[in-house]
Amino acid sequence: MQTKKENKKQTAKDFLTSAAALTGALGASVGGALATEAFIHVDQNNYPNIHTPEGADLTNKIVAAHRKATGLSNPVQTPAEAMPRNVGKRFEYGGYLPRQAVKLFNKYSDQTLNIPENEGTVITGPRSTAFVMAHELGHRAQDYHPIGGPSQVTAALPAFAGNLAALGLSATAKTNRGAVAKGLLASYIGSAPRIISELTATRLGNEYIKASGVEPNKTVSALQPIGYLLQPAAEAAANIALGRLVSPLIRKLKNRKNKAQQETTVSPEVQSVV
């Protein structure tokens, strides 16, 4: 059990760690946002928009390469503006809605998507490029994988669990170093399905682009996943900061409990009377 002096010293360390973690969370968030902006800029300048003649031609070749590699039929394409409830506003640059997500949407929403049974859809936005199209087709390829398919739909669940674990572990860790290590590990483990899915989609997309006779742009391919790689760090740092702020209270309650147990414990001495 810590003394009052030791507890105050540890509380001060926890506060400093919390402040540092918040700074780290902000830095990771800003870094991810800048990387995303840089990716968009480079992508728009190096790959044609799919709505231009050049972009449409390259996209058709990419789709053909995707079909050849996967054995799947032509993907269902849905313009962002055709998505219900303004969902399309989120897909200015495009996206992919997996098969299971389509089923859930049609089952629980009062609006349905006009998509054939057991099909996902590539969402085409006004600023979609050939690279984005290839990347989303990489998600489509994973959608038909027995593990990759479900993990794309449920990726938010382990990420949420990882955030809760990071908060709990950082709050109960004995040292600040342990809080940081455990918090980061929990966050990245929880985010692993999402990160793996994005990296795989980019890798497959680059294969389709290369099969179309175009050399993939290395800068675009490098910038695209950085935001996804930094997001767990930002989330972990924020949870670590909160956890270390709560840590002194947990310590205080634990010390109180230990003290109460010591006071109520009776150690009788056995005396012999001769």
How would you write the pLDDT of the chain (274 residues) with one tens digit per residue? 556 777 788 888 888 999 999 999 999 999 999 999 999 999 999 999 999 999 999 999 999 999 999 999 999 999 988 887 666 678 999 999 999 988 888 888 777 888 888 999 999 999 999 999 999 999 999 999 988 888 888 898 999 999 999 999 999 998 999 999 999 999 999 999 999 999 999 999 999 999 999 999 999 999 999 999 999 999 999 999 999 998 888 877 776 776 677 767 655 554 444 4
Q: Which residue has the tokens 């692993």?
A: 192
Please tell me whether residue 121 adopts helix, strand or coil conformation: strand
pLDDT for the residue 174 = 87
171 Cβ partners below 8 Å, 6+ apart? 179, 242, 243, 244, 246, 247, 250
What is the residue type of 247?
S
Q: What is the mean pLDDT of the chain?
A: 89
Q: What is the Cα–Cα distance from 65 to 214, expressed in whole angstroms?
A: 12
Strands (E), the chain: 77-79, 95-97, 121-124
Q: What is the Cα–Cα distance from 230 to 233, expressed in whole angstroms?
A: 5
Please tell me whether residue 70 adopts helix, strand or coil conformation: helix
Residues β-bridged to residue 78? 123
This prediction has a pTM of 0.86
The domain limits of the chain are 4-264
Q: What number of residues does the chain have?
A: 274
